Amino acid sequence: MKRRDLLKGGILAGALSLLPQGVAQGAPQNLPSLGRRYRNLIVFVYDGFSWEDYAVAQAYARRRLGRVLALERLLARYPNGLVNTYSLTSYVTESSAAANAMSCGVKTVNGGLAIHADGTPLKPFFAAAKEAGKAVGLVTTTTVTHATPAGFVVSNPDRNAEERIAEQYLAFGAEVYLGGGDRFFNAEKRQDKKDLYAAFAQAGYGVVRTPEDLARSNASRLLGVFYDGHVPYEVDRRFQGVKVPSLKEMVQAALPRLASYRNGFVLQVEAGRIDHANHINDPAATLWDVLAADETLELLTAFVDRNPDTLLLVVSDHATGVGGLYGAGRSYLESSVGIDLLEAQKASFEHMRRLLGNSPDPAQVKEAYRAMKGVTLTDEEAERVVRAIRDRVPWPEGVRQGVQPDNTMAWAMAQRNAAKPDRPNIGYSSGQHTASPVVLALYGQGLRLFSLGLVDNTHVFRLMGEALGVRYQNPVMSEEEALEILKGRPQAVRHPEDVWA
**Least distance to its own copies, CB of residue 323, Å:** 7
| Sequential DSSP letters for 43-91 | EEEETT--HHHHHHHHHHHHHHS----HHHHHHHHS-EEEEE---SS-S
Using rule CB under 8 A, residue 56 touches its own copies = yes
Return the residue of 254, 299, 304, 319 that touches its own copies, per CB under 8 A. 319
- Check: CB of residue 282 under 8 Å from CB of residue 414: no
x/- letters, 104..143, toward its own copies (CB under 8 A)? -----xxx--------------------------------
Binding-site member from 131, 212, 361, 397 for its own copies (CB under 8 A): 397
Q: Does 7 bind its own copies (CB under 8 A)?
A: yes
Window contacting its own copies (CB under 8 A); options: 45-53, 161-169, 235-243, 384-392: 45-53
Hey, which residues does 310 pair with through a beta bridge? 40
DSSP type of residue 315: E
451 is annotated as an active-site residue: no
Return d(Cα 459, Cα 149) in angstroms, integer: 18
Q: How far is the CB of 79 from its own copies (least distance, A)?
A: 6
Selection from 405, 423, 426, 412 nearest residue 499 by Cα? 405
Q: Does 148 bind its own copies (CB under 8 A)?
A: no
Catalytic residue among 50, 87, 90, 95: 95
SS3 257: helix
324 counts as binding its own copies under rule CB under 8 A: yes
Angle at 419 between CA 413 and CA 420, to 5 degrees: 60
Considering only residues 450 to 489 of the shown chain, the ones binding its own copies according to CB under 8 A are 450-451, 453-455, 486
Closer to its own copies by Cβ: residue 76 or 171: 76
23/171 with CB nearer its own copies: 23
Q: Is 183 in the site for its own copies (CB under 8 A)?
A: no
Q: How near is the Cβ of 349 to its own copies at its closest, in Å?
A: 18
- Minimum CB distance to its own copies smaller for 45 or for 70: 70
Minimum CB separation of residue 101 from its own copies in Å reads 14
Alpha-carbon separation of residue 97 from 71, 90, 150, 499 (angstroms): 25, 10, 11, 17
Q: Examine residue 195 and tell whether it contacts its own copies (CB under 8 A).
A: no
User: Site residues for its own copies, window 421-450 (CB under 8 A)?
Assistant: 421, 425-430, 432-437, 448-450
Give the helix/strand (H/E) hosting 454. Answer: strand 453-456
Q: How far apart are CA 346 and CA 338, in angstroms?
A: 15
In terms of CB distance, is 235 or 455 closer to its own copies?
455
Q: Which residues of 286-323 are buried (b: 16+ CB within 10 A; e: fewer)?
A: bbbbbbbbbbbbbbbbebbeebeebbbbbbbbbbbbbb
Pick the binder of its own copies from 183, 248, 273, 495 (CB under 8 A): 495
Alpha-carbon torsion 69, 453, 148, 350, what sign?
Answer: positive
Q: Which of 86, 172, 205, 369 binds its own copies (CB under 8 A)?
A: 86
Site membership for its own copies, residue 72 (CB under 8 A): yes
Active site residues: 95
